[in-house]
Structure 1
Amino acid sequence: MAWVHQDKCAIVGVGATDYYVRGKSWPRTINDMAAEAIMKACADAGISHRQIDGFAYYSTAGAGYLDKFDTASLMETLGMPHIGFSATLTSGGGGCVGAIGLATAGLMNEDCTYTVTLMALQQLPQHRLGVVFGAAAPSPENSFLQPSGLVGPGHLMSMLTRRHMHLYGTRPEAFKEIVQATRANTHNRPKAIRKNPLSDEEYWNSPMLADPLRRLDFCLETDGAVAVITTTTERAKDCRHKPALVHACAHGGQREWGRAFAWMGMPDPYFASAGHEFTAKRIWAQSGLSAKDMDVALLYDHFSPMVLMQLEDYGFCERGEGSDYVLSGKLRYDPATGGKVNGGVPVNTHGGNLNEAYIIGMTHLVEAVEQVRGTAINQIADAEFALASGGPAALPVSSLILRRD
């Protein structure tokens, strides 16, 4: 059955600051960067910032890891006269694309007319994600994690990765291919942090941080802000660019995955997965589509093996076949063939969290919009459908399909 809100809303504006290596954005502030991203998104949409009357956040309205967005403060900063909608998804980066579904809820309920989803990130020394669990207050989960040396997300993901290798014979060469394939997409991107081609030697010599994950298997640590504006499809006709229609959107997940990410208390096969099977099934049911119908996939890549596991969860390949799928080159983008290689679907044509910038998933959303608009730097020929994901992370995770108008 088609999603009740299918194609009734659209993303009409995207905006972003420059991307900075961690800590290099100072003395800028979170609100300063957020305001710049919002103003650029408004300019992209061809509307005034005074027309914005809704906020659809994720990560519990988090701005980075210890900061929070405050709607009233943003209204004062930008001179917004009023709002009719302000809401957030819980969890962290798992909600980045699900927040667009939240925006559609406000729009369809006629609570607002133009809704902003944004993230601003500033990683000062006390704000680093890499040791977030080690620095957290004691809790039932942390009392297990901290004495075990599991002080950051990389340690947790390394355990899921090792289990996948044990069950399915997944090869580390597949992780290298994910990093190299997406790095190859940044050489022509002005804002990308990592642009140089990645050799085999450089990858293998990258320090091992959480076996089997090397430093280059970890996402970048960057500062910056990204904002997108969603409105109704009818209203989008008056905006500057071709709208990116919100074709399907889901957030949530299975209880087993929620335990796994920060507790490690789940059974196979969920342990060796990305936790996206639940939302994947929902968007395929909402849309009547499947993985083979996607023209491009923007998969949340905070750690390279999670791309491989998402390919399995979304049905690009069968469970346990991710390693072979990746090593066949099907993630690659090749402009000479219109984008696709070996019958695959190009993944993270913007370079992703691993190579362009890490703004907790928002750069994937921007790339999905530009692909269906037909304005992407690494454009897929005749792209009609773009898949974007939020997470793997503590629940909820999320899935989104954008469609060309």
Structure 2
Amino acid sequence: MTLRDKACVTGIGETAYLRGSTKTAVQLQFESSLAAIEDAGLRPQDIDGVIPVGIVSATAEDFIDNFGIADLRFSAVIPHGGASPVMALQAAAAAVATGVCNHVLITFGRNVTAAANNNKAGARIHTMPQFHYVTEFEYPMGAISPAQLYAPMARRHMELYGTTVEHFGEVAVACREHALLNGNAVMKKPITLEDHRNSRMIADPFRLLDCSLESDGGAAVIVSASERAVDLRHRRVFISGVAAGHPDSPASITQRPDMTSLGIAKAAPRAFEMAGVTHADIDVTEIYDCFTYAVIRQLEDMGFCAKGEGGPFVAGGRLRLGGELPTNTHGGLLSQAHVWGLNHVVELVRQLRGDGGRAQVQGAECGLVSGYGDMGDGALAIMRRE
């Protein structure tokens, strides 16, 4: 069985993205969910599947009670960090394609920057059960935060393949340029490659401008059975290919044979085969950018260039609007907001609808969105417009 075009994204919703929100994560999650439902032309009661994403997410029962859902037929929890939203697309597509339900809500909310909130990234990840190997191997050596955990991968790539600080900077500058075109982005100040190089070191080789934001907000999408979406509000955006994968030694970077290996390398061939497209067919990409290096590695593992060639591939403005592969047209986690990558899904749908505003990629018909979670879990969805 193939899932090709049997499901589509029919609704998208976002809150304002900012730092220091006065709303709770659940309030932000509900707000974006209601926006996505309205965008699809549905009622809350029409939702019969829900996948809440996130560490402090509302539960399926919360949506039943607050949205008046009389018959919730499907719910799931996907605990794979930033890979979860795209993995949720896969689960939702399977649920609607097999007739389990008709409309699945994928939703996320986050408040981590309020003055009284001490729940920072380094503390949060060590409460997650899949991080027990980190506690055993990396944590005793002082690696606590994501930047410290992922930095050895980037440094190893630099040593093996000659990837440079300038290559990382190309990713950061492209995302910032796109954020400046987006009214709902946290970062509003232009940056240059020199600004990137001069930003303070966080965890070698990651500088400040290599690192994604800590920000507050909510995002949501509705995945519907394709035949149930014919008469809804917007043109259908089909999920043509979707897959997930995990790296070897998935819970510990330092214990795997190749520290530069990511799970998306296993997922990408399956997603492209399911969609029946080639890399040349991809008009726009929304690539999970927890760190600049992650974009370079995913481009390699997805097959846009050979392993080790990701640095030169992103040089020369290739990822910017007008370049050969416009990427993170909303600004990404690096410059729009950190919403675990569900904002990447929202942006791809917006692009394929032709609603990208000043950041619209002209003629975009087919695009992809990736997820990167934990120690290298990966997911990829290829979508096309009707």
Same fold, TM-score > 0.5, yes or no: yes
State the distance in 2 between where 1:135 and 1:283 align. 32
- Give the conservation status (yes or no) of the 8 Å contact 2:165–2:197: no
CA distance change for structure 1 residues 31 and 101 in 2, over 3 Å: closer, same or farther? same
From 282, 285, 293, give the equivalent of 1:297. Answer: 285
CA distance change for structure 1 residues 254 and 133 in 2, over 3 Å: closer, same or farther? closer
CA distance change for structure 1 residues 321 and 115 in 2, over 3 Å: closer, same or farther? same
- Give the conservation status (yes or no) of the 8 Å contact 1:273–1:310: no
From 50, 53, 64, give the equivalent of 2:45. Answer: 50
Q: Give the Å deviation of 1:143.
A: 2.7
Unaligned runs of 5+ in 1: 335-340
1:264 aligns with 2:260: no
State the distance in 2 between where 1:10 and 1:294 align. 18
Provide the residue aligned with 2:67 in structure 1: 78
Q: Give the Å deviation of 1:197.
A: 1.1
Q: Give the Å deviation of 1:395.
A: 5.9
1:46-70 deviations in whole A, cap 9, x for unaligned? 1111111111344xxx3xx4x1321
1:275 aligns with 2:275: no
Provide the residue aligned with 2:201 in structure 1: 208
From 128, 139, 148, give the equivalent of 2:120. Answer: 128
RMSD over equivalenced CA pairs, Å: 1.9
CA distance change for structure 1 residues 86 and 136 in 2, over 3 Å: closer, same or farther? closer
Residues 271-280 or 309-318, more deviating:
271-280
1:319-354 deviations in whole A, cap 9, x for unaligned? 1111111113211112xxxxxx2xx21111111000
The amino acid of 2:311's aligned partner reads: S
Aligned length: 381
State the distance in 2 between where 1:382 and 1:170 align. 32
1:33 aligns with 2:28: yes
From 76, 91, 102, give the equivalent of 1:102. Answer: 91
State the distance in 2 between where 1:139 and 1:252 align. 20
Q: Give the Å deviation of 1:147.
A: 2.0
The amino acid of 1:37's aligned partner reads: S
1:116 aligns with 2:112: no
1:387-398 matches, within 5 Å, as 387-394=368-375, 396-398=377-379
Provide the residue aligned with 1:255 in structure 2: 248
State the distance in 1 between where 2:195 and 2:26 align. 37
Provide the residue aligned with 1:337 in structure 2: none
The amino acid of 2:33's aligned partner reads: I
Residues 374-383 or 165-174, more deviating:
374-383
State the distance in 2 between where 1:132 and 1:71 align. 22
- Give the conservation status (yes or no) of the 8 Å contact 2:84–2:373: no
- Give the conservation status (yes or no) of the 8 Å contact 2:370–2:379: yes
- Give the conservation status (yes or no) of the 8 Å contact 2:25–2:57: no
- Give the conservation status (yes or no) of the 8 Å contact 1:206–1:216: yes
- Give the conservation status (yes or no) of the 8 Å contact 2:26–2:57: no
State the distance in 2 between where 1:333 and 1:281 align. 26
- Give the conservation status (yes or no) of the 8 Å contact 1:54–1:113: yes
CA distance change for structure 1 residues 78 and 135 in 2, over 3 Å: closer, same or farther? closer
Provide the residue aligned with 1:309 in structure 2: 297
Q: Give the Å deviation of 1:133.
A: 5.0
Residues 358-367 or 377-386, more deviating:
377-386
State the distance in 2 between where 1:251 and 1:136 align. 20
1:92-116 deviations in whole A, cap 9, x for unaligned? 1112112111111221232211110
Provide the residue aligned with 1:16 in structure 2: 14
Provide the residue aligned with 1:222 in structure 2: 215
Unaligned runs of 5+ in 2: none
- Give the conservation status (yes or no) of the 8 Å contact 1:130–1:154: no
State the distance in 1 between where 2:155 and 2:32 align. 38
Give aligned-pair identity as a percent: 34
Provide the residue aligned with 2:142 in structure 1: 149
- Give the conservation status (yes or no) of the 8 Å contact 1:274–1:392: no
Provide the residue aligned with 1:374 in structure 2: 354
SS of residue matched to 1:204: helix
State the distance in 2 between where 1:351 and 1:234 align. 33
Provide the residue aligned with 1:191 in structure 2: 184
- Give the conservation status (yes or no) of the 8 Å contact 2:262–2:376: no
CA distance change for structure 1 residues 188 and 263 in 2, over 3 Å: closer, same or farther? closer
State the distance in 2 between where 1:203 and 1:317 align. 24
SS of residue matched to 1:309: helix
CA distance change for structure 1 residues 136 and 239 in 2, over 3 Å: closer, same or farther? closer
State the distance in 2 between where 1:134 and 1:239 align. 42
1:31-82 deviations in whole A, cap 9, x for unaligned? 2211111111111111111111111344xxx3xx4x1321111221222222
1:92 aligns with 2:90: no
- Give the conservation status (yes or no) of the 8 Å contact 1:134–1:146: no
Provide the residue aligned with 2:58 in structure 1: 69
